Amino acid sequence: QVQLVESGGGLVQAGGSLRLSCAASGRTFSSYAMGWFRQAPGKGREFVARISASGDSTYHANSVKGRFTIYRDNAKNMEYLQMNSLKPEDTAVYYCAAGRSSWAATIATECDYWGQGTQVTVSS
């Protein structure tokens, strides 16, 4: 069992930065690949980025590549999403999720555990 709690969301102007954090409970955190997803009002949940269980492999959606960076600290049971050069279209609720493989962590329906979400709002 893994419990996930996101933090770090907020209101920021276009071009600004935010760092989202995901705190995990449970001793099995380091065995899970982790992902970030987002959901804007009226839209489906969208994959943003994922990182392998060991942290040696990452993958970012084209829409955020070069602006967002996913990373993790297994010693602290933490996952992060550094978001730079934010755009109004990045506005959404952001969720962290745990999957049993790197592939699973890129697909919302394959993730085993979810956080409650944190709101990110980017003003123009």
Q: Hey, what are 8's tokens?
A: 């770090």
Cα 84 from Cα 81, distance rounded (Å): 10
Cα 55 from Cα 8, distance rounded (Å): 21
DSSP 11-32: EEETT--EEEEEEEESTTGGGS
Cα 93 from Cα 72, distance rounded (Å): 20
**Residue 88 pLDDT > 80, yes or no?**
yes
Average pLDDT over residues 76-103: 97
pLDDT cut 70: percent of the chain above it: 100
Q: What is the pLDDT of residue 1?
A: 83
Q: What is the pLDDT of residues 23-59, one digit of tens each?
A: 999 878 999 999 999 999 999 999 999 999 999 999 9
Exposure letters 78-96 (e unless 16+ CB within 10 A, then b): ebbbebeebeeebbbbbbb
Is the CB of residue 45 less than 8 Å from the CB of residue 94?
A: no
